[in-house]
């Protein structure tokens, strides 16, 4: 009979396997934690939560900056079966208020740097219990004040807590809220099995192990900051170099924590890659990457082929793109064990099924058929959180989940994403792929980056429009004719953009993704 709590047992085994091995390095303070020390901190975090009345199934809001304390409270919640509700401090105050009001949290943890955000967001929630935690990176800059503040070193471990006792693989683990680019955030609910099971499947495919040391520069309240660069390394017995969350300013010192702490595994987004190519002038960093970085994983948004090739040429390491959704986690990936193909997002992870459906919803059996990708995986979310009842709207595990992405699966099992269903441009009845048009634009020597969207047209229904960031010193007025000639040479007539606009920067959401909705509004209001 299969072990219904096999994942929980494996989590316990990771802590026991090599307790004196370094797990976490906090680059902001140079502090380090072994697996045993993080287990102890997780127990202290669990003890603080228990002292505040938190028990199994209770939801805890975490509004903290990237820190070892944030990591400890993730483990603290796990140890007693509480549900972590991380809140990205970069969200708008109204979104943070919405999350705290519609997640069912009974306690919110914050620190000095997020105190003002919590005060603003909870003005209409006077009964919500709030506890301030002192982060190590804050203690050296700010004298303590009269407000009660907890440090994990000062918390006495509760002898009555046995970490993970009574915790099941199917217990709620995490409620992650979407970034809210198309409305108010939506709560995606995952259990222990889905998050840690997906970490195990991805580690197996990639061959990650104790010799890998990950750079963690994602917001820890974001899916990639939990699964990709924290729990995936943990389950692999790897180590993690934790930095502040990525911003454009971090590019100037991007390689310092990498070199100082010998990180050899990077998890990047296309936006991060483009920013490095544009601003990074650290030649020592380039050399370090060529000589020491073993893996560069890329996800969270489509990776343009030109960006991939430019990055690989400069930094001398192959980029392994993967594909997934917040609801389904990582579905497929390019891995060292299989040949990589241009524009492919790799092959399915263990336990994942993917099918292609046409516009009528009929599944296509022929390899290479294009349509909406439908997925089934044992690591899917439990469901969405109902904002009113605060209960989980559970899904049928046997049902196929519509990804909303258009793609195909070739005869070798490689997956290709060709567009986004809702982003398809339908011009005069023709379906046009913004991704394909963008690839053509990026291959023009004057174009540094591009966003392609459809905007309303009285006759054709939609027309193709593009916002362009040109190479430094260039103006669209001078380059437009040549760019359009380039497009006419490589695209069907219907796919050639009829409206172009130059921008200095693209509008970004709190997780670094380009906000296509705002780009579309910008292009629609062009005089």
Single pTM value for the model: 0.88
What does the pLDDT read at residue 317? 97
Q: What is the pLDDT of residues 247-258, one digit of tens each?
A: 878 888 999 999
503's tokens: 């921008």
| CB-based contact 490:437 (threshold 8 Å) | no
What does the pLDDT read at residue 251? 85
Inform me whether the pLDDT recorded for 494 exceeds 90: no
What does the pLDDT read at residue 182? 44
Residue environment code for 426-455, b if the CB has 16+ CB neighbours within 10 A, otherwise e: ebeeeebbbbbbbbbbbebebbbbbbbbbb
Which helix (H) or strand (E) segment is 240 a member of? strand 239-242
437's tokens: 């048009």
Q: List the beta strands (DSSP E) in 56-208.
A: 59-63, 83-86, 105-110, 129-132, 172-177, 187-191
CATH superfamily of domain region 343-420: Luciferase; Domain 3 (2.30.38.10)
Inform me whether the pLDDT recorded for 19 exceeds 90: yes
Which helix (H) or strand (E) segment is 129 a member of? strand 129-132
Going 5 to 11 to 12 to 18, the CA torsion angle's sign is: positive
**Residue 420 pLDDT grade (very low, low, confident, very high; cuts 50, 70, 90):** confident
In the chain, residues under CATH classification 2.30.38.10 are: 343-420
What does the pLDDT read at residue 143? 52
User: Residue 184: which of 87, 96, 121, 124 has the closest Cα?
Assistant: 96
In the chain, residues under CATH classification 3.30.300.30 are: 424-524
Work out the mean pLDDT of the chain and round it to a whole number: 92
Backbone φ and ψ for 392, nearest 5 degrees, come out as -85, 125
Q: What is the pLDDT of residues 218-241, one digit of tens each?
A: 999 999 999 999 999 999 999 999
Q: Of all residues in the chain, what percent carry a pLDDT higher than 70?
A: 96
User: Residue 198: which of 235, 239, 241, 237 has the closest Cα?
Assistant: 235
Q: What is the pLDDT of residues 466-488, one digit of tens each?
A: 999 999 999 999 999 999 999 99
| Cα 35 to Cα 11, 72, 192, 265, distances in angstroms | 11, 11, 19, 19
Which helix (H) or strand (E) segment is 15 a member of? helix 6-17
CATH architecture of 424-524: 2-Layer Sandwich (3.30)
* Beta bridge mates, 109: 62, 131
**Residue 431 pLDDT grade (very low, low, confident, very high; cuts 50, 70, 90):** confident
| CB-based contact 357:364 (threshold 8 Å) | yes
**Residue 92 pLDDT grade (very low, low, confident, very high; cuts 50, 70, 90):** confident
Give me the mean pLDDT over the 47-54 stretch.
97
What does the pLDDT read at residue 181? 42
Backbone φ and ψ for 81, nearest 5 degrees, come out as 75, 15
Inform me whether the pLDDT recorded for 511 exceeds 80: no
What does the pLDDT read at residue 140? 57
Q: What is the pLDDT of residues 434-451, one digit of tens each?
A: 988 999 999 999 999 999
DSSP-H helix ranges across 280-386 = 283-292, 305-315
CA-CA distance, 291 to 51, in Å (whole number)? 49
User: Residue 195: which of 84, 90, 95, 270 has the closest Cα?
Assistant: 84
Q: What is the pLDDT of residues 117-175, one digit of tens each?
A: 999 999 989 899 999 999 998 875 555 555 778 899 999 999 999 999 999 999 999 99
Q: What is the pLDDT of residues 95-105, one digit of tens each?
A: 899 999 999 99
Angle at Cα 329 formed by Cα 208 and Cα 72, nearest 5°? 65
The H helix count followed by the E strand count for the chain is 16, 27
Mapped onto helix, strand or coil, the DSSP state of residue 166 is: coil
Q: List the beta strands (DSSP E) in 349-478.
A: 352-357, 363-364, 371-377, 383-385, 392-394, 401-409, 415-420, 425-427, 430-432, 447-457, 461-470
Q: What is the pLDDT of residues 281-312, one digit of tens each?
A: 999 999 999 999 999 999 988 888 999 999 99
Mapped onto helix, strand or coil, the DSSP state of residue 267 is: strand
């Amino acid at each position: 009979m299969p072990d219904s709590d096999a994942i929980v047992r494996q989590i316990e085994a990771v802590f026991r396997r090599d307790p004196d091995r370094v797990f976490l390095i906090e680059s902001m303070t140079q502090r380090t934690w072994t697996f045993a020390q993080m287990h102890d901190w997780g127990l202290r975090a669990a003890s603080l939560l228990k002292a505040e009345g938190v028990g199994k199934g209770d939801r805890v809001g975490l509004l903290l900056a990237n820190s070892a304390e944030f990591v400890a409270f993730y483990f603290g919640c796990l140890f007693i079966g509480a549900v972590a509700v991380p809140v990205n401090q970069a969200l708008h105050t109204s979104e943070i208020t919405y999350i705290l009001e519609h997640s069912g949290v009974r306690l919110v943890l914050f620190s000095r740097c997020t105190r003002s955000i919590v005060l603003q967001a909870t003005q209409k929630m006077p009964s919500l219990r709030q506890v301030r935690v002192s982060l190590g990176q804050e203690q050296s800059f700010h004298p303590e004040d009269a407000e009660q503040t907890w440090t994990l070193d000062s918390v006495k471990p509760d002898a009555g807590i046995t970490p993970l006792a009574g915790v099941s693989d199917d217990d709620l683990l995490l409620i992650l809220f979407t970034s809210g680019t198309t409305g108010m955030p939506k709560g995606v609910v995952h259990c222990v099995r889905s998050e840690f099971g997906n970490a195990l499947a991805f580690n197996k495919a990639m061959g990650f192990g104790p010799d890998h040391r990950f750079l963690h520069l994602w917001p820890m309240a974001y899916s990639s900051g939990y699964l990709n660069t924290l729990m995936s390394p943990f389950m692999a017995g790897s180590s993690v170099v934790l930095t502040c969350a990525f911003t454009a300013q971090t590019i100037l010192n991007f390689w310092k924590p990498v070199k100082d702490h010998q990180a050899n595994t990077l998890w990047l987004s296309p936006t991060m890659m483009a920013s490095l190519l544009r601003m990074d002038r650290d030649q020592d960093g380039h050399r370090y990457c060529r000589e020491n970085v073993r893996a560069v994983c890329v996800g969270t948004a489509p990776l343009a082929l030109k960006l991939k090739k430019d990055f690989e040429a400069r930094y001398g390491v192959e980029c392994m793109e993967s594909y997934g959704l917040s609801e389904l986690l990582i579905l497929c990936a390019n891995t060292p064990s299989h040949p990589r193909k241009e524009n492919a997002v790799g092959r399915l992870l263990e336990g994942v099924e993917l099918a292609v459906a046409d516009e009528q919803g009929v599944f296509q059996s022929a390899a290479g058929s294009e349509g909406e990708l439908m997925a089934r995986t044992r690591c899917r979310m439990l469901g969405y959180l109902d904002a009113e009842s605060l209960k989980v709207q559970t899904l049928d595990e046997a049902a196929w989940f519509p990804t909303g992405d258009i793609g195909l699966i070739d005869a070798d099992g490689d997956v290709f994403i060709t567009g986004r269903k809702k982003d398809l441009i339908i011009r005069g009845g023709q379906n046009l792929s913004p991704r394909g048009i963008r690839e053509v634009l990026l291959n023009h020597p004057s174009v540094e980056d591009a966003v392609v969207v459809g905007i309303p047209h009285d006759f054709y229904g939609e027309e193709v429009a593009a916002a362009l960031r040109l190479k430094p010193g260039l103006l669209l007025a001078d380059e437009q004719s040549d760019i359009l000639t380039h497009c006419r040479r490589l695209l069907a007539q219907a796919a050639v953009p009829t409206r172009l606009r130059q921008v200095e920067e693209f509008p970004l959401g709190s997780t670094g993704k380009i906000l296509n909705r705002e780009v579309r509004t910008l292009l629609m209001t062009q005089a």
